[in-house]
A and B are shown apart, each in its own frame.
Chain A
Amino acid sequence: DTGVSQDPRHKITKRGQNVTFRCDPISEHNRLYWYRQTLGQGPEFLTYFQNEAQLEKSRLLSDRFSAERPKGSFSTLEIQRTEQGDSAMYLCATADGFTDTQYFGPGTRLTVL
C-alpha cells in the first residue's frame, strides 16, 4: 500500500454514460497526476496538478475528460459520454515537491459496454 487510494476499483458502464473517479493522495504530496493505461502498455499521461492548479493537460485528451483538485487534496476525473475506446485502467500518482518519484494508487479499471 503506497498510501494513494482510488475509488472505485472497478467501474462498468454503458456507452454514453458519465463516470467519475476519485483519487486521494499521500497527505503531504502537492503534485498529482492522472494516467491511462491499456493492457501491456506503459501509463499514458493525461493531466497534472500542483496543489489545486491544473498545470498541464495532454493534447490527446478529448474535451469529454475533465479533472479537478478543488482544495489541493483529493482529485476527481470525469469522463462524459463514455465510448468503448475509453475502456482502460485509470491511474493516479502523487509526488512531493522535492523529487521526481511518483507513487501510484491501485487504479480504477473502466469497462465501457
Chain B
Amino acid sequence: TQLLEQSPQFLSIQEGENLTVYCNSSSVFSSLQWYRQEPGEGPVLLVTVVTGGEVKKLKRLTFQFGDARKDSSLHITAAQPGDTGLYLCAGASGDSNYQLIWGAGTKLIIKP
C-alpha cells in the first residue's frame, strides 16, 4: 500500500518566520501535487512537480521534488497570515486510473 506521510501535522508560527513542510513516502511517484485548502472550501492546486530534483517557485513558496521522486518539501519564506491553511500533498501512482495518494495534511497557522 502506498502511503504519503506529511510532517509536521500542525504548525503555528509568527508572521515573518520561515517554515518547511515535508511529504515523504517509500514509493516512487510519477508526479506530485501540492494543494492549499481553506476551511469550507475545496483544495486549490499550488504546483505539480514531475522531474526528480525539480524545484519550482511560486512567490515566497519553494517546492522541491526529491531526486528519487519519493519525497517533496514546501518551504515558505517570510510567512504571512494569508498563508494560513491546510497544505496537502498528493502523489500520482502512475496507474491507469491516474489515482492520487494523499497525505493527511499540514495545518499551518500564521499569527500576525
Residues of A within 8 A of B (CB): 2, 4, 6, 31, 40-45, 48, 50, 55-56, 89, 91, 93, 95, 99-107, 109
Contacts and interface: CB of A to CB of B under 8 A. Distances in A.
B43 interface: yes
A56 B96 CA distance: 11
Interface of B: 30-31, 33, 35, 40-45, 48, 86, 88, 90, 92, 97-100, 102-105, 107
B97 A42 contact: no
Contacts, number: 66
B111 to A, nearest CB: 19
A105 B42 CA distance: 6
B33 A106 contact: no
A102 B99 CA distance: 10
Contact of A101 (B42, B48, B97, B104): B48
Contact of A106 (B41, B48, B86, B92): B41
A31 B43 contact: no
